[in-house]
Every structure is written in C-alpha cells, then in structure tokens.
C-alpha cells in the first residue's frame, strides 16, 4: 500500500493558491483515475481516496497540523514511511520545477514540520517549485496567493510528471521525472 499525501489548506479562500499545489496535484490524479473509492472517517481528519494499492490523502487539518491526518492514515493502514509520498510546494525551486527527495529537514515548511513530528522525517517528498517573491517580506502573501493563468499553464507538464512518477515509483524516479522549471 502506498500513501500519497497532497499538502494544502481547506476552504474556498485557499483554492488555487501556491501553498495548495499538493491538493491541486491530488485532484488532478483523482480526476484522471477511472475507478476510486472515497473513504470518509473522522479519524483520518481529511479526505481519503483509494485506488487499488494507492491511498490519496488531502488533510483537512490546515497545513500546520497535516501530521495529525497523515499519522492517523499511516497507523490505520499500517503504511511504512518508505511507502509514503508527500507532495508540497517549494519556494526555493523555480515555478514548475520538480524534485524528489527522501527524508531530510522541513526547510521551514510547516506542513512538513507537522508530519515530521508525527511520523518522523524518513518519507518521500515530491517538491513542486512555486518560485519566490523578490521581496522576502512578501513570502506569506505570495505563498497564499492564487496562481496566475500563465503560471497554471506552466505547471501542467509538472503535474503530469507528478502523476507518472507516483505510479512508476522506484529508485530511478528522480532521474526520470525531475524538471528544472
């Protein structure tokens, strides 16, 4: 069983924001699947979709508490950290860049920080570049800002590669699907 987690914030005010790229990726994958089941258990603190041996999770705890949801699903389904993939935004990568990583620090990302505190940090990550504002004082507004139409167009191949990588996950994933943006 693989657990794929898309990080984001719930609520219409956060739809299509840079910080919600994980939710956007999960939605795209689910929309492309022919067959899935939606599992709604209050214990999971999120929306969970199942397709074969894949679980797709969108935590409903808000970003800063994502670990509560991930930990609950991990424990319920007894998923090992090596089979957990977290999709999240990355300010340090150019818009559309795509990188893969196993373990490591949270880099100040509050969603990762929460997950680390609940399950440790030895899980897989898909980092999607959202770029960075020139003025560092505007990071919060930038991250919580909505993507522009041209940015969404630039992200289309990135999101396609995310889906391909998830269903073709192995030790060569990074070399096959990484993008520079």
Q: Which residues are catalytic?
A: 19
State both tokens at 124: 């897989």
- For 1, 88, 169, the CA distances from 8, given in Å and listed in that order, are 23, 8, 22
Q: Please, which residues have CB within 8 angstroms of residue 95's CB and are 6 or more apart in sequence?
A: 129, 130, 131, 151, 154, 155, 181
Find the angle CA(75)-CA(76)-CA(80) to the nearest 5 degrees: 45
Tell me which residue of 143, 117, 118, 119 sits closest to 132, measured CA to CA: 143
């Amino acid at each position: 069983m693989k657990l794929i987690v898309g990080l984001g914030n719930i609520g219409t005010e956060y739809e299509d924001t840079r910080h919600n790229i994980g939710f956007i990726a999960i939605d795209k994958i689910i929309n492309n699947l022919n067959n899935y089941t939606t599992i709604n258990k209050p214990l999971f603190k999120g929306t969970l979709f199942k397709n074969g041996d894949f679980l797709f999770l969108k935590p409903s705890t808000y970003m800063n508490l994502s670990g509560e949801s991930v930990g609950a699903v991990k424990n319920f389904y007894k998923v090992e950290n090596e089979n957990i993939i977290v999709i999240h935004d990355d300010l340090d990568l150019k818009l559309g860049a795509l990188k893969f990583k196993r373990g490591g620090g949270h880099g100040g990302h509050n969603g990762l920080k929460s997950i680390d505190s609940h399950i440790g940090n030895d899980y897989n990550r898909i980092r999607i570049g959202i770029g960075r504002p020139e003025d560092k004082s505007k990071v919060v507004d930038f991250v919580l800002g909505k993507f522009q139409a041209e940015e969404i167009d630039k992200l289309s191949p990135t999101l396609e590669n995310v889906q391909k990588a998830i269903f073709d996950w192995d030790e060569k994933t990074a070399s096959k699907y990484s993008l520079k943006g």
